Amino acid sequence: MVNVIVNGKSKYNLDNNCQIYYGYFDLQDLVNSLSILDSSGYLRIRRMLAWNLYFHLSRNYSDQLRNLYYVIYEISAIIRELNFRNINPAYALSSILNNINTSMKLSWKNGEFSLKDPLEISCEIDLNAEINKLIKLEVEGKGKISVGENEIKSSNEMDLYKLSDVKGLSLESEFFYRDGKVNVKINLKFRPENRGLNKEINAEDLNKVLRITAKEVNEKAINSHEFFEDFMVGIMETLIQPFLEKYKYELAKVLGFKEILYIPAGRHFILNAEESALNNEEIAQLFSDSCQLAINRIKEGKNSFFDNFSLPISVKGGLVFYEDSQITSLASRSIKSLATIILEVNSLKDQALVIIESPEEFLLNEDKSRIVNIVEKLMEKGNKIIIHTWDKKFLEYFKDCQVYKNEKLV
């Protein structure tokens, strides 16, 4: 028996193939705790975990990270000066690089330069605990999910051309996690093109350039602070990916399903939002995290649409049709409610826990029987179903399901 406890209080039995919740229930805590099994939910949790990790690291290494940002712009100023003088950087820099007063010393080896002392930052952090803080779920009798491996290694390389205007400049990072401690090693690498005149330039001439451009470098670093944060968090996301993938795998193995599909109430609003001109930031401000899962599922369902339920819903050129008419924002709420369910179900790729809120919403009795047919087909494919309804007819439709009743407002 698989019982999960959410937020230390709400308990759910996920063994039964079909469960009906009738009355005043709120399943949002369950949806949020399992959102790591949804593609967009997974990305959100990965982003939040990366921000937490970056915060822990940057708190004690803010000066070193700032110097890293400075040296990127300083390299840009140096290469810009050499290009202006038409001097080949591969020829001119090899002998003087160590004498150039950049915020972090540079060294030359084998035709490329890098940081003389790569930036090494570390912190004590339990990644299992950090993930569990975000999803707030534990399995009864087994406790919280954790990745059993004590050691995780990963690496990343990022092109800095758009940031620095220096072609070939990149940032290399290595991530190492073992027994609750994170170590990150960051280095800059640049192999200059063998282009320009092979003539020398004094280190002092380039140091003068750095003094002249110091204000520019400082202003760029300050103005780019938010960008740099996103930049570093993006690196953290890449580095923690293997760990989070293992965590997701362990959770799915315990639960017996690999995806969660949430179909909320208010589906006509959800469909309108997906088809509107709202960008992701605006959608994030207007809709809850769980509703954002549904909006992204609609997008996925459009891209992988197939007619598996003998319903007059179709997708042509990215547009949704009911019979021969395009479903627009002015279409009836009943049609949009039905279409949203079909589109979300079409996004499934593996066995899932499907949570449907108010399946009866705006539907006629004959359309409710269509929902029953969809649910039955989903169960035939090995999916688990949880329905939250206000309509007693659904208790009759699914007589063999586990039923939970709460008819009093508390």
Predicted TM-score of the model (pTM):
0.85
In terms of DSSP bridges, do strands 384-389 and 352-357 run parallel, antiparallel, or are they unpaired?
A: parallel
* pLDDT, tens digit, 9 for 90 and up, residues 278-319: 888 888 888 889 999 999 999 999 988 877 777 788 888 888
* pLDDT, tens digit, 9 for 90 and up, residues 338-347: 999 999 999 9
Confidence of residue 410 (pLDDT cuts 50, 70, 90): very low
In terms of Cα–Cα distance, which of 210, 263, 252, 243 is closest to 103? 210
* pLDDT, tens digit, 9 for 90 and up, residues 8-41: 888 999 988 999 999 999 999 999 999 999 999 9
